[in-house]
Amino acid sequence: MPDIFTDATGHPRVLRGTAINTGNARAAELAARVGFDVVWIEMEHTSVDLRAAEALCVATEVGGGIPLIRTPGYRREQILQALEVGGRIIVSPMVNDAAAAREIVKWGKFRPLGERGYNTRSRAAGFGIEPLAIGAMNAETWLFPQIETLEAVRNLDEIIGVEGLGGLFIGPGDLSSDLGCPGDMTDPRLREIVCDCTARARAAGLHAAIFTGPGPLLDAALAAGADLCIIGSDMGAMIQVWREQLGNLRF
């Protein structure tokens, strides 16, 4: 299976994604068919359970997209099961130090990198129809600790040094809260941190990702080397369109 971060000619590409906060499988398939490369499946802040996450992974792949699952945490069952239902990119929140990052690798990669449980009957394993290709499965999944506190920023070099990570995912929402400017994506301190973390990840040979809408912060992150961006959500798009529809009514 080709590297998801390269195009058909082997050149690096920036993956574009959207979040499915509704938990609706049709929305996930539609997002991929419209052209989003990645579909964000939210398990931290929504009621999406494993059965729903699996359906969202299937729908995403039917549409031609890559399923990304944000787990509720980085315990063994949270990482392992997100992978087993079909997550190709795993984002784990509130990773503040190297010890937490090592937990993600421990449960998310097979030996010798980690201690992922051996199982042949999951979607990830192709239901056991063919022998389990452990090396390929390690290579075809990406583990991203989410950097969303000032503590994580201070410990970034140690986090980056954990073998087996695919990249860093920067969460500007919680970072802005930790900076004392919650939700202000224009704060220059936030932009500086985002760009610095992105550049350091890329210099270390890791991918770098961010969840933020189009605007100066996204532009700055892309200029610093970010190669995965989640730029919105199905729910946000519906709110915008519905407000416009209501505003256009004249009676």
Mean pLDDT of the chain: 96
CATH number of the CATH domain containing 190: 3.20.20.60
In tens, the pLDDT along 103-124 reads: 999 999 999 999 999 999 999 9
| pLDDT at 15 (0 to 100) | 98
Q: Does the pLDDT of residue 251 top 90, yes or no?
A: no
For residue 6, what are the β-bridge partners?
Answer: 12
The reply to whether 35 falls in a domain is: yes
The reply to whether 177 falls in a domain is: yes
In tens, the pLDDT along 39-71 reads: 999 999 999 999 999 999 999 999 999 999 999
In tens, the pLDDT along 162-216 reads: 999 999 999 999 999 999 999 999 999 999 999 999 999 999 999 999 999 999 9
89 token code pair? 């990119």
The reply to whether 176 falls in a domain is: yes
The reply to whether 9 falls in a domain is: no
Question: Which residue segment(s) compose the domain that 169 sits in?
Answer: 15-248
Closest CA to 147 of 166, 175, 176, 108: 175
Q: Does the pLDDT of residue 2 top 70, yes or no?
A: no
The reply to whether 1 falls in a domain is: no
Q: Does the pLDDT of residue 237 top 80, yes or no?
A: yes
Number of domains in the chain: 1
> Are 70 and 93 a contacting pair, CB within 8 Å?
yes
> Are 212 and 229 a contacting pair, CB within 8 Å?
yes
